[in-house]
Amino acid sequence: MSRAEVMTPAVRHRAGRRRPAPLSLRPQSDPSAGPILLGLARSAIAARGTSIPRTAEGPAWLSRPGAVFVTLTKDGRLRGCTGSIEPRRSLREDVMRNACAAAFHDSRFPPLPAAELPQVRIEVSLLSPTEQLVFLTWEDLLGQLRPGVDGLILSWRGHRGTFLPQVWEEVPDPQDFLTHLLHKARLPVSFWEPDVTVQRFTVTAWSEPGQAPRRLST
């Protein structure tokens, strides 16, 4: 399926509490963020992953931890999608490594040939920290969802499915959204167990010009 905020460093108060980094340190508030992140993704794919720079050049937020999904589409159809849920490396490195993973290591597609890259549209989705949803019933869960806003991670005993918020563009009904998510997690569409867990997140997304992609496979 085919558009989510990054975890930024926090400043500690004297009382020991944390507050978000100033807006100027966040890619969400930087007009240059889209061109920078999309350029990093495309250059990494063009280099076929052979050059992941460790340089500190560019805005400070590039060197801060971040988690992204990189989605590749061709003629409006999915061509690869890979990402990180938690920020475990710099935003720069996460973008470039996930771009290469989407292009060359998504098991649903053959590796992207160099000649095909100019035909590919790239989207980078920057994830917010996740929030655990607390619910007792399926109906309770449905009532907490925010269509068009929430990305979801559904997990149960080794099964996991993740949908970016962009998937709502194709599946606007919450019941259908969860049904497709269960299918992606390789669970029955009527599945329900008390210990199933669901987390949500939002994204900030930047995409190259081109045909809007279909998301249902991501």
Q: Where are the domains of the chain?
A: 1-128+204-218, 129-201
φ and ψ of 24, to 5 deg: -65, -15
Average of per-residue pLDDT across 44-73: 86
Which are the contacts of 136, defined by CB distance < 8 A and separation ≥ 6? none
Report residue 199: phi and psi, to 5°.
-115, 150
Common-topology check for domains 1-128+204-218 and 129-201: no
Query: Is residue 56 very low, low, confident or very high in pLDDT (cuts 50, 70, 90)?
Result: low
- For residue 59, what are its two tokens? 């805005």
Backbone φ/ψ region at 75: left (φ over 0), alpha (ψ -120 to 50), beta: left
Across 160-184, average pLDDT: 96
Q: What is the pLDDT of residue 25?
A: 75
Mean pLDDT of 55-81: 92
Stretch 70-74: mean pLDDT: 97
Place 213 in a pLDDT band, splitting at 50, 70 and 90. low
Rounded-to-integer distance, Cα 218 and Cα 213, Å: 11
Residue 112 predicted with pLDDT over 80: yes
Q: What is the DSSP letter of 151?
A: E
For residue 114, pLDDT beyond 90:
yes
3-class DSSP state for residue 75?
A: coil
pLDDT at 52: 65
Nearest to 8 by CA among 133, 162, 24: 24
DSSP H helical ranges for 86-149:
91-104, 138-144
Give residue 32's pLDDT. Answer: 93
Beta strand 10-12 with 77-83 is unpaired
- H-helix or E-strand spanning residue 154: strand 151-156
Which pTM does this prediction carry? 0.82
Q: For domain 1-128+204-218, is the CATH number 3.40.1180.10?
A: no
Q: What is the DSSP letter of 163?
A: E
First to last CA, the chain: 4
Residue with tokens 């771009």: 99
Q: Are 138 and 106 in contact (CB under 8 A)?
A: no
Q: In the CATH scheme, what architecture does the domain 129-201 have?
A: 2-Layer Sandwich (3.30)
- Token pair of 178, please? 């969860």
